Chains A and B, each alone.
Chain A
Amino acid sequence: MNEIKTLIWKEVTLEWRQKYALSGMLLYVVSTVFVCYLSFNLRRNQLTPIVWNTLFWIIILFTAVNAIAKSFSQERYGRLLYYYSLCSPQAIIISKIIYNSLIMLLLSCIGFGFYAFVMGNPVGDIGLYFICILLASIGFGSVLTLVAGIASKAENNATLMAVLSFPIILPMLLMTIKLAKNAIDGLDRSVSTDEIMTLLSIDAIVITLSYLLFPFLWRS
């Protein structure tokens, strides 16, 4: 437990020292949202809640892929070896998953704030929408961390990351979009328990698998 805490702290300090990565991702979200805003500028009335919602989640998906892809490749090979000699692989993957989920949470909250600011906010049940953002951040964070670990071992990293992660993340994305749609319509929360349970169980499967499989991955 202590190990994990230290590792997360290490990631945070690293991020803080080289601010360009995080600020780059923030700028990425903001400029993507702004591009979407300007592109829809001509026909604001055609931006139905469904389009609004889908667009937001696609922006978040691409942000997630870009933000997490660097989580293994940004550190130099020698330094990785050093970590591996210090702590257990389970601690490394768990700390990376937690850290990436936190980053995703931060990015999607800021993204949501800015998106709602420029594109209007049709959401009926803000609380449920934030639950949805939380679940999606955990899910995207955990799936993409393992895929980033796999992709970082290969040469053509960027393509592989997208190709490997998009189909795997799709069921999660669809469930999230559905849940977010319920939140926008302001439906009663009991309607959405199904989706929340499914998302939670997908998250649980993915995190357990990452925990079990990562020790085999880092050795190579």
Chain B
Amino acid sequence: MRKIWWKILCIIIIFYVIVMGFMGPVPHLPILNETIRNTYFHVALWLAMTTLLLAAMIFSVKYLMSGKIQDDDVASELTKSAIFFGILGCMTGSAWANFSWGDPWPNDPKLNSAAVSLLIYLAYLLLRSSFEDEQRKARISAVYNIFAFAVFIPIIYILPRLTDSLHPGSGGNATFGSFDFDNNIRKVFYPAIIGYILMGMWLAELRIRIKVINRIREEELIVKNN
């Protein structure tokens, strides 16, 4: 029963976000109207994804420092849940764009760089699958993961701001927090981020446990055969 509290917290927060996200009061803005509720899903998913990728990068650094295979398991599984969130973030963003910009995939620098960053991390998965030896796989993919994160941050958060984008924070559009972020939104938005991060950790944790069990079973098999 140890460490179960955060799973319960995660479920409670997610339900809170779903209920309050669809029913709670939101400011009425022109063009956005009710689609502003997508802030709780789309924006929060991207922030959760970035946090998970940051955590994955930290674990990759830890792996290179210590050489413990467990750190690499954590890094790779966190990255996988981050990719999952990234795909969800793309889909929710697409749904939002369809209603507020009139096109599911407008030619916007931020959208394109989101697609590129997903490609970078899918390439990470491909790289992982092309090695047989565990330690070698772990070391090389850790190197790539750090490199990928260092490219990911400029692609997503810096380069789109230099050009015109439909997203807030670029091309003369104001960032969040400056005009439309009233307290009603904050009350759901911040818990949403925490909830998604917890969910990502939960997903990663389950997969790590499967990995550990498989590794132990393999080792037992080897011992038995010898």
Contacts and interface: CB of A to CB of B under 8 A. Distances in A.
Interface of A: 146, 150, 153-156, 160, 163-164, 166-168, 170-171, 174-175, 194, 198, 202, 205, 209, 213, 216-217, 219-220
Contact of B136 (A156, A167, A220): A220
A217 B144 CA distance: 10
Contacts of A213: 143, 146-147
B151 interface: yes
Query: Interface residue tally of chain B, by bracket?
Result: 20 to 34
A160 B126 contact: yes
Would you list the 9 A-B pairs with minimal beta carbon distance, nearest first? A167-B119, A154-B130, A167-B120, A220-B136, A163-B123, A213-B143, A167-B116, A216-B64, A220-B139
Nearest to B153: A205
B131 interface: yes
Interface of B: 64, 113, 116-117, 119-120, 123, 126-127, 130-131, 135-136, 139-140, 142-144, 146-148, 150-151, 154-155, 159, 162
A132 to B, nearest CB: 17
Contacts of B116: 167, 170-171
Nearest to B115: A167
Contact of A155 (B126, B130, B150): B130
B130 A160 contact: yes
Nearest to B142: A216
B58 to A, nearest CB: 15
Nearest to B120: A167
A40 to B, nearest CB: 25
A154 B140 contact: yes
Given A171-B151, A171-B154, A194-B162, 18 more contacts: A150-B140, A150-B144, A155-B130, A160-B127, A163-B126, A164-B127, A167-B120, A168-B147, A170-B155, A198-B162, A205-B150, A205-B151, A205-B154, A209-B146, A209-B147, A216-B139, A220-B135, A220-B139
A217 B127 contact: no
9 contacts: A153-B131, A155-B130, A160-B126, A194-B162, A202-B154, A205-B151, A209-B147, A216-B64, A217-B140
A202 B159 CA distance: 11
Contacts of B162: 194, 198
B163 to A, nearest CB: 9
B161 to A, nearest CB: 11
A65 B27 CA distance: 51
A154 B135 CA distance: 13
A120 B142 CA distance: 46
A168 B142 contact: no
B140 A220 contact: yes
A216 B142 CA distance: 9
Given A153-B140, A217-B143, A220-B136, A167 B127 contact: no
Nearest to A210: B147
